[in-house]
Structure 1
Amino acid sequence: MRRRHRRITGSPDLDITAFMNLMIVLVPVLLLGMVFSQVRMIELNFPGTQAGDTLSPDEFKLVVTLIPQGIEIGDSERGVIKVLPVQDGQQNYPELQLVLRQIKARMPDKTDLILEVGPDIDYQTLVRTMDTVRSYPAVVAASVVEGELFPDVALMDAQEDRTLAATAGLATGEGA
């Protein structure tokens, strides 16, 4: 006759040490990765009127034209304010920021600007120009903060054959 031995059926202990080690390493790595993978968004407006808005013809419109030959700053009342040709293959961003700061000092309530972009402008130049016209670094109480220039940027296509005002005047013999 055979004896039946009863097996002892108990719940075995789960060894979760390896899983806990993985979580201890994985959680901080994922949290640090979230800080470095932020998505930046730039709000854009398109020129034209909103529904129900009417523009008066004498309204001040600040226009910055970005073409491969340089940057042109103008308004609807006086025409061209400043022409900034390309220097050493780079757009003149410090001078652009200086002129826009002077305009902002005269018109502190103005927040919108139209940015005309030529067809041969690369993406990095466009983004850097948008960052330049939106804000500038300012020192307040021994710390650097971003001062507001014209945060409401509207994009518009410039004409394909557009040239800077200074070079157009020289080529045709116009200007003094």
Structure 2
Amino acid sequence: MRRRIREQEEAGELNIVPYLDIVTNLVMFMLLSMTGLVSLGVLNVSAPRIGGESAALQGAEQPKLLLTVAISRQGFYIASAGGALEGLEKSIDAARAPTVARKPDGAYDYAALAEHMKRIKARFPKETNLILSADGEVPYEVLVQTMDACRELRGAAAEGAQDRKLFPDVSLSILG
């Protein structure tokens, strides 16, 4: 009797091959569907570069702009770390008033920011780099809309402009 019980236990194995086939098909389907969705929401940003190609390409005759836009709870701070722009600070100082303050209703003023970027682009037409930094409490949507306002002109501001592109090469940084 003992011999028969052991033979029955060994013969009762589950065949999991059909289940693995289903799981493999589901995983393949999910991977293919995710790659289609991911490509729709890609923004081209990069980490700040130190030295390298861009420093070698810029001649000594043109001062470095090193344009930085910082987002805080008070508004937008615009600085030129290279000191190439008069009227702009060389560093971000949260103790002073922002360059572009928030609207009275509390919303960020993207149109005024785009107008500042347009004036800067008029003085530096070949410059494409921008360093964007944000306070940790700034919502992600504000960061994306700020990036859009700095990358190209939209709406009424773009009507009279020859080139709609402002600063398309955005590097992200931490405000600190």
TM-score scaled to structure 1, two decimals? Answer: 0.59
**One-letter amino acid matched to 1:69:** Q
Q: Compared with structure 1, are the counterparts of its residues 59 and 90 closer, same or farther at alpha carbon in structure 2 (3 Å cutoff)?
A: same
Check whether the contact 1:73–1:83 (CA below 8 A) recurs between aligned residues.
yes
1:47 alignment partner in structure 2: 48
1:112 alignment partner in structure 2: 129
SS at match of 1:154: strand
In structure 1, runs of 5+ residues without a counterpart are 1-36, 160-176
Q: Which deviations, in whole Å up to 9, do the C-alpha atoms of 1:50-70 show, x marking residues without a partner? A: 6576589x6221010111111
For the aligned residue pairs, the C-alpha RMSD in angstroms reads 3.0
Separation in 1 of the partners of 2:124 and 2:162? Answer: 21
Q: Identify the structure with the greater strand proportion.
A: 1
The one of 89, 109, 118 aligned to 1:80: 89
**One-letter amino acid matched to 1:115:** L
Q: Identify the structure with the greater helix proportion.
A: 2
Separation in 2 of the partners of 1:44 and 1:95? Answer: 23
1:130 alignment partner in structure 2: 147
Instruction: Report the count of equivalent residues.
Output: 120
Separation in 2 of the partners of 1:90 and 1:68? Answer: 10
The one of 30, 39, 64 aligned to 1:59: 64
TM-score scaled to structure 2, two decimals? Answer: 0.59
| Structure having the higher Rg | 1
The one of 142, 159, 166 aligned to 1:139: 159
Give the fraction of aligned pairs with identical amino acids, expressed as a percent. 28
In structure 2, runs of 5+ residues without a counterpart are 1-36, 91-97
Separation in 1 of the partners of 2:41 and 2:162? Answer: 18
Give the deviation of 1:139 after TM superposition: 3.0
